[in-house]
Structure 1
Amino acid sequence: MALALLLSWFLTAVWIVFMKSLGLGKRVRTDGPKTHLAKEGTPSMGGVAFLLAAFLAYGFMGRDGFLGLWLLGLGFALLGFLDDLGGSLARPLRAREKLALQTLMGLVFALWAVRQVAYTPWPLLDVLLILLAVVGAANAFNFTDGLDGLLASVAALLLLPFYPYPFAQTLLGGLLGFLWHNAPRAKVFMGDTGSQALGAMVAGLFALTGKLWLLPLAAIVPVLEVLSVVAQVLYFRKTGRRLLRMSPLHHHLELSGWEEAKIVFRFAVLTALATALAFGLGGGA
């Protein structure tokens, strides 16, 4: 973990300088919280740095048989990278195209994972459960990544129960090194490159260790975030009005008067409590 942390701290700093030299920065939505306008131009795609740091550290120390998780993370990171490039591409990926690619990668992983662990007597049902978890988590984590330090803090807490595994140690170290630069006010955002890969790998880790049933409770913050988006869309289609001031949930709370740092802190506390409860009910890691 220490090696991943130091590598991540260094590589993230290098990435910030590199992105600034290219003049690339995050575009901030003008219809969002006005406090976010000051973040215009902040370097993004920081997931490249902390994922690379974690992978290099895992290459030196990892012996837990979770290389398949890194392949899954690489696929989702590349997809997120294309999302982050967005307007720089000839044509950005459409939502249905992105979902199709996520499903394909999730299916390949699920078919491999069911050879390692079983949840039901029916392998096809297990494949479906793992597929839904991976794709759902990738998108839920993506929605959660909207405030300085929010997703990195939530993901780090979700990894703590798996600390005996080198995979979790190195990914946790990578996140901590990134958080040094991502703490308010963030000098870099992880972008879809980091958020989609994190969601897929955390869900995959829960699946491979036989803890998939604990994921919805432990990851209560990403679950609430994605549910807030779904509820907002469905309510608007039915009534023509907004249910929340803005979705995902963290933006609604911001527009309701909560300070950004307060939301991050309270969501981290909620994740810590939910994770402790989930693993307490599930008999530990």
Structure 2
Amino acid sequence: MALGILFSWFLTAVWIGLMKSLGLGKKVRRDGPQTHLAKEGTPSMGGVAFLLAAFLAYLLGEKDGLVGLWLLALGFALLGLVDDLGGSASRPLRAREKLALQALMALVFALWAVRQVAYTPWPILDVFLIAFAVVGAANAFNFTDGLDGLLASVTAILLLPFYPYPFAQTLLGAVLGFLWHNAPKAKVFMGDTGSQALGAAVAGLFVLTGKLWLLPLAAIVPVLEVLSVVAQVLYFRRTGRRLLRMSPLHHHFELSGWEEAKVVFRFALLTALATVIAFRGGMP
């Protein structure tokens, strides 16, 4: 974990300098909260730095039986990188194309995972259940990544129950090292490169440790974020009006008067409470 923190802190700082020197920065959506327009030009794709830091720390430390998670995280990171670079591409990746690639990678992982863990008496059902969890988590984490330090804080809390595993230790350290630079006011964003990889990795971690059923409760914030988007779209199509001031959910609270840092802090507290209930529920 210490190596993960150190490597991530250093590599993220190097990444920030590189992005600034190349003049590459985040393009802020104009239909989002107006306060976010000041973030225009902030270096992005920081997931490249902290994922590399986590992997290097993992190589130098103890190993566990979760090596396959790195392949899963790498696949989703590369897909996220394509998404991040899509703005400058002649033809950005379409939503259905991204979803198809996510599903393919999740299915490959699920076919490998069912050899190690079972959740139902039917392996084929387990395959689809695991694949759905991975794709769902990747997109839910992506929706959650919208405020300075929000997704990094939520992910760090979700990784804590898995601390005995070297994979979780190095990834937790890397997220904390990144959070040093990502805390309000953020000097760098993780981008889809980081958010999709974290979602897939965390879901895979829950899967391989036999804790998949705890994921929806522990990851209550990403679940609420993605549900808020779905509810907003469905309600608008049906009524022509908005159910929330803005989706995902964190923007609704922003526009309701909560300061950005307050939303992050309270969502992190909610995640901590939900994680404790999920892992310690019913125990003294």
Cα distance, 1:152 vs. partner?
0.2
**1:214, 1:282 within 8 Å by CA — same for their partners in 2?**
no
2:35 maps to which residue?
A: 35
Q: Secondary structure at the match of 1:194?
A: helix
2:260 maps to which residue?
A: 260
5 Å-filtered alignment, 1:225-236, equals 225-236=225-236
- Using the size of structure 2 for normalisation, the TM-score is 0.99
Distance 1:231 1:263 in 2: 20
Does 1:26 find its partner at 2:26?
yes
5 Å-filtered alignment, 1:136-175, equals 136-175=136-175
Distance 2:263 2:215 in 1: 21
1:69 maps to which residue?
A: 69
2:135 maps to which residue?
A: 135
Distance 1:283 1:274 in 2: 14
Does 1:242 find its partner at 2:242?
yes
5 Å-filtered alignment, 1:166-205, equals 166-205=166-205
Number of residue pairs aligned between Structure 1 and Structure 2: 284
Q: Secondary structure at the match of 1:233?
A: helix
Deviation per residue, 1:34-60 (Å, 9 max, x gap) = 211110000000000000000000011
1:126 maps to which residue?
A: 126
Distance 2:54 2:245 in 1: 37
**1:153, 1:268 within 8 Å by CA — same for their partners in 2?**
yes
Cα distance, 1:29 vs. partner?
1.5
Distance 2:183 2:89 in 1: 30
Distance 1:87 1:139 in 2: 19
- Structure 1 segments of 4 or more deviating over 6 A? none
Cα distance, 1:89 vs. partner?
1.5
Amino acid at match of 2:132: L
**1:118, 1:126 within 8 Å by CA — same for their partners in 2?**
yes
Deviation per residue, 1:135-156 (Å, 9 max, x gap) = 0000000000000000000000
Deviation per residue, 1:142-174 (Å, 9 max, x gap) = 000000000000000000000000000000000
1:96 maps to which residue?
A: 96
Q: Unaligned 5+ residue runs, structure 2? A: none
Q: Unaligned 5+ residue runs, structure 1? A: none
Deviation per residue, 1:85-142 (Å, 9 max, x gap) = 0122221000000000000000000000000101111001111110010000000000
1:213 maps to which residue?
A: 213
Distance 2:60 2:31 in 1: 45
Distance 2:132 2:281 in 1: 23
Task: State the identity %.
Answer: 85
Distance 1:202 1:31 in 2: 30
1:109 maps to which residue?
A: 109
Distance 1:265 1:9 in 2: 22
Distance 1:203 1:283 in 2: 24
Q: Secondary structure at the match of 1:117?
A: coil
Cα distance, 1:282 vs. partner?
7.7
